[in-house]
Amino acid sequence: MIDLALLRREPENVMTALARRGVSPDQVQALLAADIEHRALMQEAEALRAQVKDLSRQVGEARRSGDTARGDEIAEASKQLGDQERAATARAEEVGSTVRALHLQLPNIPSPDAPDGLSEEENVELRQWWPGMDQGASFPTYGDHQRVAHWDIGTELGILDLESGARLAGSMFPLYRGDGSRLLRALTQFALDAHADAYEEIRPPSVALTETMMSTGHLPKSEDDMYAIERDNLWLIPTGEVPLTSMNRGEILNADDLPLRLTAATQCFRREAGAAGRDTRGLLRVHEFEKVELFAYCTPEQADEAQADILARAEGLLQLLGLPYRLLDLCAGDLGSASARTFDLEVYTPGVDRWLEVSSVSWFRDYQTRRANVRYRAESGTALVHTVNGSGLAWARIWAALVETYRQPDGTVKLPDVLAPYLAGRPTLAKR
């Protein structure tokens, strides 16, 4: 959540910044009004408590002096004030709950460097990459054998079985077979090995408590897109970002230990209720997928470098895999609720002739750590750490891009040699 003290000090600046995201000033004003009322009620309740305490002292003095009548009179006044204090406290708690609900719904303040715009059409393409471009090669041309959708290739080779997946769990839950399954494992190990030089590998649970989900901003904002296990008050994680952000919830870190870099391979689950009927073919949009996450706790001064490192690693993997991609700078209105600045990487897939997002690399300022209460010891005391994360990478769409891009005229798929060590030296996928 954003800094409420900042909102109180600079309401106009905050409203102007949030307007870049399409946030109505009325939404901000509602929070400000509730906050003012809450603080007034707390002051009223505190003043009444002080009066009750003073009257209680007077009751004791009167009775000790033998003035029972005066003591009873003051006691009655104290009782009436006590009733008022309890009512004011109850009202303060009620309005405080409103303040928290409104505060949680308010998105992060976008970075001044994020482009202006309110929709994905206004995102800014910064650059593209494809094999050989540094030697002057043009963007790849693709043969008819590569202009085949990955779901058809997967079915033909027996490595993707969407029908069985749907029969087991419903639509948009893919089932991989044989070499298709091995390819997923290979990609995960390939990425973890690439990040092992600087990132500690974590194997977190695949479920999270409500407070863990709230720390990243996935709740309450995106509740409809999450899978809930209501009986146990647990949620299936939508991304490794969720557990990694709360790894040090409620703790104070040493500044010398920052940046603290973590990576995790996780199963991710998203209902994506708002995407019903959109991009549902094959692996374009699925409810369960595998991903390797890169994450950093850092100081504000380290945030730019931390984001640049994660972005460079994600791009480096795409280049090793030889997949053409483009880099987008997301406009303020297309940022995720918790993000202040996000860069998206999209790979080109010839079979479906689409650019598909495979990584979002985001800086969250202290929006998440204010919820999770993760701090570090600074010279002036303690301060909230900043968080940065990104996929390195998400595999469903990478899987699709690989089988389409590297399909051969004979129908086999010859994968990049960099994956051979992870595929028992057999980087070619063929029908069995």
Average pLDDT over residues 297-322: 98
pLDDT at 278: 66
360 catalytic per annotation: yes
Please name the residues in contact with 327: beta carbons below 8 A apart, sequence gap of 6 or more: 125, 126, 127, 128, 129, 311, 315, 343, 344, 345
Give the HSE-up count for residue 413: Cα atoms under 13 Å, Cβ half-sphere: 29
Q: Are 103 and 53 in contact (CB under 8 A)?
A: no
pLDDT-based confidence at residue 275 (cuts at 50, 70, 90): low
For residue 274, is pLDDT > 80?
no
Percent of the chain whose pLDDT exceeds 90: 91
For residue 273, is pLDDT > 80?
no
pLDDT-based confidence at residue 85 (cuts at 50, 70, 90): very high
Complete domains list, the chain, with CATH:
4-105 (1.10.287.40), 120-429 (3.30.930.10)
Q: Are 225 and 270 in contact (CB under 8 A)?
A: yes
In three-state secondary structure terms, 112 is coil
Per-residue pLDDT reduced to its tens digit, 191-239? 999 999 999 999 999 999 999 999 999 999 999 999 999 999 999 999 9
| Residues 86, 346: Cα–Cα separation, whole Å | 57
| Residues 15, 13: Cα–Cα separation, whole Å | 5
pLDDT-based confidence at residue 49 (cuts at 50, 70, 90): very high
Length of the chain: 432
Listed residue (354, 202, 206, 376) closest to 285, CA to CA: 354
Q: Which of 391, 397, 404, 407 is catalytic?
A: 397
357 catalytic per annotation: yes
The mean predicted confidence, pLDDT, of the chain is 96
pLDDT at 59: 86
Average pLDDT over residues 384-388: 98
Listed residue (183, 189, 241, 243) closest to 211, CA to CA: 243
Most confidently modeled range among 50-54, 72-76, 167-171:
167-171
- Helix H or strand E encompassing 399: helix 395-405
Q: Is the dihedral of CA 33, 34, 37, 39 positive or negative?
A: negative
- Helix H or strand E encompassing 377: strand 375-378
Pairing mode of beta strands 375-378, 252-254: parallel
Question: What are the angstrom distances between the C-alpha of 189 and each of 286, 361, 392, 420?
Answer: 22, 20, 11, 12
354 catalytic per annotation: no
Partnered with residue 359 across adjacent β-strands are: 345
Map tokens 């977190």 to a residue. 204
For residue 277, is pLDDT > 70?
no
Q: Which of 21, 285, 371, 407 is catalytic?
A: 285
182 catalytic per annotation: no
pLDDT at 162: 97
| Residues 329, 312: Cα–Cα separation, whole Å | 14
Average pLDDT over residues 35-60: 94
| Residues 365, 110: Cα–Cα separation, whole Å | 10
* More confident call, 67 vs 293: 293
Q: Which of 270, 365, 371, 375 is catalytic?
A: 270
Strand order in the sheet with 354-363: 124-129, 325-329, 341-349, 354-363, 386-394, 288-298, 260-269, 200-202
Q: Which of 44, 46, 73, 357 is catalytic?
A: 357
Average pLDDT over residues 178-199: 98
* More confident call, 143 vs 62: 143
Partnered with residue 291 across adjacent β-strands are: 266, 394
Please name the residues in contact with 34: beta carbons below 8 A apart, sequence gap of 6 or more: 95, 98, 99, 102
Token pair in block for residue 326: 């483009």
pLDDT at 379: 82
Per-residue pLDDT reduced to its tens digit, 245-271? 999 999 999 999 999 999 999 999 999
Residue type, 183: L
